[in-house]
Structure formats: C-alpha cells, structure tokens
Amino acid sequence: MKRIQFKQWLLLLCIFIAGKLNAQNPIIQTIYTADPAPMVYNDTVYLYTGHDEDKSTWFTMKDWRCYTTTDMVNWTDHGSPLSLKNFSWAKKDAWAGQCIYRKGKFYWYVPMNHQTMGMSIGVAISTSPYGPFEDALGKPLLHSGNGDIDPTVFIDDNGQAYLYWGNPYLKYVKLNEDMISYSGDIITVPLNAEGFSKRIKDADKRPSEYEEGPWLYKRKGQYYLAYPAGGVPEHLAYSTGPTPTGPWKYRDTIMPVIKKGGAFTNHPGIIDYKGRSYLFYHNGALPGGGGFTRSVCVEEFTYNADGSIPRIAATSGILNSHQNLNPFKRVEAETIAWQEGIETAGDNESGIYATAIDNNDYIKVRSVDFGKGAKNFEANLAALTDGGTIEIHLDSLEGSLVGSLHVKATGSLINWQLQTCQVKNIKGKHDVFFVFHGTESNLFNFNSWQFGKK
C-alpha cells in the first residue's frame, strides 16, 4: 500500500491516538488485508489473508499473504506464499480462503475466477505453513456453477474433513483423506429461519440472514458456523449444531455492523490460542480504506458459561501480549505491532524486510523484555548512502532515547551488513520504537535486529 498517504493530517491524528491507546487494530498496516483465516500450528498463530490492491474500486485481489505471531501483538510478515500465478486455470479474483494442516502437509483452499467457468475453488499444497504452495490438481477442486467462493475447511475428531462455502447458497462436501478430492454429492444447506434467522433486509432476495464467508469449527462437543449476515453492510452471526452438518440452529449476532471505519463486508475467523479465544475480522479503518481496501483486525473474547458467543465490539485492539519478546535473539524487522510509513518487500536470498523508509517513519514492537539490561544494538541493514539514522525510543515516540545507530552505505539496497551502536543500559519490559531519520527518501532497507548484553 504505497505510503498509504501517511503524511496526511488524518493519519497523524490516528497515529497519535493509536500511540496513546496502544492500538493494535488493524493489525497489519503495510498493505490492505482482508478475509482473515487464522490457523494454530506448533504453538504459533498463522494468519492467512487476502490482499486488496491499493486504490481498488472493486475486490481487486491477486495474491494471498501470511503472517505469524506467538504473542498476539507483534505480527511477522512472511510475504505472499500463494498467488493467482500458481494456478494455470485462474483468471482473477484471489478471494477468501483457508489453510489447514493434515499429516505433514498444509492444504490451502482458495476461490478464483476460472478462465472459462467463473468462480471455482482450488486447493494448493505445501510441506511448510510458509509455503511455497503449489496447485495440487491443475484444475478446480470444486465448481458447482453458482456462488463458489469463501471456502472454510474443518477436520472432525474422527478424521472426516468437511469443506463449506458459498454465496448466496451454503454448500458443503465431505473431503477424502487425501484432502484434494471428495466423496458423495455437493450438499446445499437449507437456509431456513430456524438455522440462520429470518431475513429482515431484502427479504425477497434471500430466505435467511446468511450471506457468505462461513467459518466452521468445534468446541467442547458443539459445532459452530460463523458467517457474515444480514446483507450490506454485513454483521457477523453464528449458528450451532450437534454434528458438522447440522441441523443448524441460529444463535445470535457476534459482531454488529461496524459503523465507524467499517468496510460493508466482513469475514470471521475464530480460534483458541494459549487458553484464550480470538475473533478475527476486517474493517476499512486504515487511511484510504473502505469496502474494497480492507484491513484485518482481532479481538479477544470469552465464551459464556453455556458455550454461547457474546456480542463482540470492534475496538482499538488487544492490549496485553501473551508473552514477552526476547530482544537478545534475532528479530525480523518486519515483526511489527504498529508502524507508520513502512512497507515490506522480499526476495529469495534476503527474505522479507522493511523498506520504503523515509524521515520520521517508525516501527513499534511491543512487550520487549530486556531483563537485567542491554548495552548494544545490532541491525542488519542495506543502504546506498550514509546519512540515515535509527533512533531507539522506549514506550512512546517521545520516550527515552536510549541509542542512535548512524547507518553507513553498504553499496546497494540488498547488500546487507551488520551495523551496531551502544545503548544505555535498558532494563525491564518496554515497548520499543525504532524511529527513522534522514534527508533522503528511501533511506535504507532493514532486515533484522538484536540487542546484546555486553
């Protein structure tokens, strides 16, 4: 999202408020992201998203993105492990999908507009959650002829996998154990009032509140189906059932329509992680954001005693991290809680890194535990010229200045060198702000950082 007009007064106001409130939402600020699909694997949350192109006036989406966290406040950008280019049969529309792990492989179910047949659902496969992913079939897994978008995938305790999808219909199949084929017919779920509530708005067009974007999961023996509902602008609702195929009973609204900073669509993703529950969704709150330039957010919530989901409000985000970040181990520069002005880029040799760094841009990293103290700072940098500076501030943009690294030229923007500076003896837990200064534009690229105790 090139610069996202970060220098406008509106953004400055938003950033000021965000800094004061420790804002986390939207959790990704470097590009527009949509349709969150979180996955918990090996004690890490993998967040797979869609990617709305800058200044889009339709759902212009060409690839999918991956982010990770272990603390729910700092998110690491892993770039794009899957795009339309991976599917020879795809024409456009890299819309909402979901990834799941099974028996050593990761399966990512994604809808695309077929070159001749319209919207269809494909499946990509990888041995790593980071990818790269490849088309498993060379053709669509599913094409029913109508509404083949927004797949959600779920594997039950007995090993049976299910794939739900659809707008305006809700359909499902039983996946085979290979996860790239299915048995039996495509089943269309009855969208009745008992299962999905009676339609209020545009009742003549659809029989129930169900709209699109289903999210299927199981908790304590009960099956949940969350989905955008009610028409545009969408709210989030859910139904429950005794089996993964229903019969479904409508329960309630999860998240009402987002009136300020909303995106007219929404998309749920719900997980439990380290004993806490989280709802992922998207809004239009970033500068330039809206219905076609959306941004992923997350809220923590607690189930009611009877297993029902409470009403969840869209807030400024999660305030408390799950764990502290260790600054004495290498940290990727694209690990970000909040930022202004930064973009990310990458290549096969360098991986992902922070770029497009100009004067007064910054990266905020939360809950960094320096323990008994840090005395030096090391950054992996690439710069065409001397003159850029990284200032290290604690707890706010105007907080204590504990060190300044004067960046030296390395010969190119992909020729990386470790550069160091001394820091004042930092102790305890802090939010860290890396504030960038310099007279040139595109000052340097920033790959990783680490503090030292000696």
User: To the nearest whole number, what is the mean pLDDT of the chain?
Assistant: 94
* CATH number for the domain that contains residue 133: 2.115.10.20
Based on the domain organization, do 277 and 410 belong to the same domain? no
Q: Cα(49)–Cα(68) distance, rounded to whole angstroms?
A: 11
Residue-level pLDDT at 16: 42
What is the mean pLDDT of the segment spanning 122-141? 98
| 320 pLDDT above the threshold of 90 | no
Report the predicted TM-score, pTM, of the whole model to 2 decimal places.
Answer: 0.94
185 catalytic residue (yes or no):
no
Identified catalytic residue from 135, 150, 211, 431 = 211
| 22 pLDDT above the threshold of 80 | no
What is the mean pLDDT of the segment spanning 82-106? 98
List the beta bridge partners of residue 404.
391
Q: Cα(271)–Cα(309) distance, rounded to whole angstroms?
A: 12
**Residue 112 near residue 97, CB atoms below 8 Å:** no
Q: Cα(364)–Cα(430) distance, rounded to whole angstroms?
A: 11
135 catalytic residue (yes or no):
no
DSSP string, 396-419: STTS-EEEEEE----SSTT--EEE
Residue-level pLDDT at 62: 98
What is the mean pLDDT of the segment spanning 115-123? 97
Collapsed DSSP state (helix, strand, coil) of residue 18: helix
DSSP single-letter state for residue 221 = T
- Phi and psi (nearest 5°) for 267? -160, 120
Which residue range is the domain that position 340 belongs to?
Answer: 331-452
| 6 pLDDT above the threshold of 50 | no
Based on the domain organization, do 232 and 173 belong to the same domain? yes
Q: How many domains does the structure of the chain reveal? A: 2
Based on the domain organization, do 268 and 121 belong to the same domain? yes
Would you say residue 408 lies in a domain?
yes
**Residue 365 near residue 432, CB atoms below 8 Å:** yes
Of 301, 318, 349, the last residue of a domain is: 301
Residue-level pLDDT at 18: 43
Of 301, 317, 347, the last residue of a domain is: 301
Based on the domain organization, do 149 and 87 belong to the same domain? yes
Based on the domain organization, do 249 and 115 belong to the same domain? yes
pLDDT of 245-303, one tens digit each?
999 999 999 999 999 999 999 999 999 999 999 999 999 999 999 999 999 999 999 99
Radius of gyration of the chain (CA): 23
